[in-house]
Amino acid sequence: MANATDPDTAEPSSPGEGLAVGEDGRVRCAWGIHPDIYRTYHDTEWGRPVTDERAIFEKLCLEGFQAGLSWLTILSKRPAFRERFDGFDPEVLAAWGESEVEAALGDAGIVRNRAKVEATVGNARATLDLWVAGDSLSELLWSCGGASGSSPEAALPEATALSKALKKRGFRFVGPTTVYSTLQSLGVVNDHPARCWVHADCQAEQDRARGRLADSTG
């Protein structure tokens, strides 16, 4: 990882590297040891498969908000983000107007960046357009492969293609690095090193998720 304390702005660890032993004796990704909010996120969320549309939309938006900031900042503010952005319900956010945007910009509990707030609204509308066209965020993201590697662009070329596809559909703040971080956190790729105690669980869950998606589209 480029920054060992920040999972979603950093380069993925290579197997056997970037590990540490926690107070409970478990081997984890080094960034997932401290603080407690990181350890909980590492153990219960990062790399565990997500296929729900609303949850995917939320993570994609939060990764966009994270650009230029630490992921710790976003995690700490996530409850406020969820409250301000109506649970990241695309149908609700797509109907936002200038008054809702201004209210969000006045909320000190979130990241008050106009471009990112407006992008969230725009991304909600783009998501609805996807649905109308018979597509979904889940299908787009999970169409990517499951390999991991040393850098976002080199490890998963699909991230660059997916970034371009999302931008073509009207999404913003979805550059290749942000998209790859989203794929990591949503379990589309499993970038826990092999010796991390979470790796095997995430891999098994990923295999099951891909199986369910294949059955639903087959």
Binding-site residue ranges for Zn(2+): 29, 42, 192, 196
Residue 49: how many other CB atoms lie within 10 Å? 20
**Which amino acid, one-letter code, is at 188?**
V
Instruction: Please name which of 172, 178, 185 lies closest in space to residue 67, comparing C-alpha atoms.
Output: 178
How is residue 122 written in tokens?
């725009």
Rounded distance between C-alpha atoms, residue 159 and residue 155, angstroms: 9
Active-site residue (options: 11, 58, 63, 158): 63
Catalytic entry in 11, 31, 38, 41: 41
Catalytic one among 31, 46, 71, 142?
A: 71
* Residue numbers belonging to the annotated binding site: 29, 42, 192, 196
- Report the number of secondary-structure helices (H) and strands (E) in the chain: 11, 2
71 is a catalytic site residue: yes
SS3 content of the chain, % helix, strand, coil (to 5): 55, 5, 40
55 class by beta-carbon count within 10 Å (0-12 exposed, 13-18 middle, 19+ buried) = middle
* 63 among known catalytic residues: yes
Q: Name every residue whose Cβ is closer than 8 Å to that of residue 146 and which is 6 or more positions away in sequence.
A: 188, 189, 190, 206, 210
Cβ atoms of residues 45 and 201 within 8 Å: no
Report helix angle 71-84 to 53-66, nearest 10.
130
**Is position 46 annotated as part of the catalytic site?**
no
**Active-site amino acid positions:** 41, 63, 71
